[in-house]
Amino acid sequence: MNTKLTPKFPFTNKAPLIVALMISMWVSGAQALDLETAYLSALENDPQFQAAKSERQATKAQAYQNWSQYVPTANISQQQYATDITSRRVATFNIPLFDAEKAAQVAQGSSRYNFAESTYLVKTHDLAQRTLKAVNQIILATEAQRANQGRIAALEGQYNANKRKYESGLGTVTDLRDIEVKFNMAKADDLTLQVQKKIAARQLAMITGSMPAPSDFMLPRTHSNHPMPDMGQVLMRVKDSNPTIATAREQESIAKYDIARSSGAVLPTVSYTHLRTEYNNQITWNDGLTIILPIQAGSYVNTYGMAKKYSQAKSQREDAEAKTELDAEKYYSLTETGLQAIKIKKDAVDSAQLSVDANQKSFTAGVRSTTDVLNSIQILFQTRNEYAIAVAAQAESYLNLLLVQNDDPAKAMKQVQAFLFAK
């Protein structure tokens, strides 16, 4: 005897659908958050980047200190010994004429200032990359949820088809139970994906300072090619203006001047000195040259250590140049092949959708089994997720390609936005 089963799919109530439609219409009227806006917000709100701003100013302050080494100095002192009736006031004004150590420090100031700027640029690139990664987590969770909702809808349709067959005596209760299991698993997955999307949104909010709207960062169904720069121009720009390479070069320059500073510490110094002494209502003036002959064995040892640090900085600069150029080639290849992979995966999604439709029709005609239909639904779910993953990976490769040649991060984010979310 056949036992009738009542569908457990709660899709008959249209009120939630109407409410969701009204909410989506209201949200669409608000201005959507884009990648460039998210990055600009992150510049003002990301705690990690705020620390980079402070680091930049502190390094600049060191540069200003270097530049001030050759500035004349003035000292005023007042002394009174036990045998003195009145105090002794001494004012000294000193102008350095020759000081190799201070001269090296002054020269080092420009390298330290440039180091602060190039390091700051590296941090802006890192912020753009972190912002895009956070957005990609939202994209992947959103697209996985959309694909899962499509899987749920397909399972509902297949359940209804199996139910009709079962009621006509052509189907089995086993097929209905199999679909019910798949449906419950899909519902559980939907809950997990909702949590993942919320977590991804909060991670982005930690960077930008505000929560994105539910409708932000919704991928379109298809993506067009973005422009590809010339590889030769990319490598030229990498050599000329990449901030990572620039940072390594400035570190090498700073290390070179450290050798000069250490070597200068053992050389004589010459300065003009004006001495004014006031004692017992008498003022005496003395002007002349002050020559200091330092004898410090430790300075020679320190020079040897600075020379080794310079050699280390030079090797690090060469390594940074080689690695960055290799990264540029890698990002170019990943970006170029990624465009092709996206087209292939989009074709796979379309084929998977056609396979689901064909299997469902064949099932109705009695040619295909329930297992065939369920397998095709699962493959469609997987291909949709893989397409979203490929698009997100392409966005990161494209951004890295733009940043490695020192494109402005805000402009680069705008270009990635045009690729990811073009209607």
CA distance 295 to 317: 35
β strands within 280-408, DSSP E: 282-292
- Per the CB < 8 A criterion, the answer to whether 140 and 388 are in contact is yes
- Per the CB < 8 A criterion, the answer to whether 290 and 270 are in contact is yes
Distances (CA, A) of 126 to 119, 179, 354: 11, 46, 42
pTM for the whole thing? Answer: 0.82
Q: What is the mean pLDDT of residues 136-156?
A: 90
Helix (H, G, I), strand (E, B) or coil at 302: helix
CB burial class (10 A; 0-12, 13-18, 19+) of residue 267?
middle
- 410-423 per-position pLDDT tens digit: 999 999 999 999 86
- 107-132 per-position pLDDT tens digit: 999 999 999 999 999 999 999 999 99
Percent of the chain with pLDDT over 90: 53
Domains in the chain: ranges and CATH: 33-421 (1.20.1600.10)
The backbone torsions φ and ψ at residue 292, rounded to the nearest 5 degrees and listed phi first, read -120, 130
Helix (H, G, I), strand (E, B) or coil at 272: strand
Q: What is the mean pLDDT of residues 386-396?
A: 95
Percent of the chain with pLDDT over 70: 91
Residue 291's DSSP bridge partners are 270
- 55-71 per-position pLDDT tens digit: 999 999 999 999 988 88
CA distance 325 to 173: 63
Helix, strand, coil share of the chain (percent; to 5): 70, 10, 20
Best mean pLDDT range from 86-95, 145-154, 311-320, 360-369? 311-320
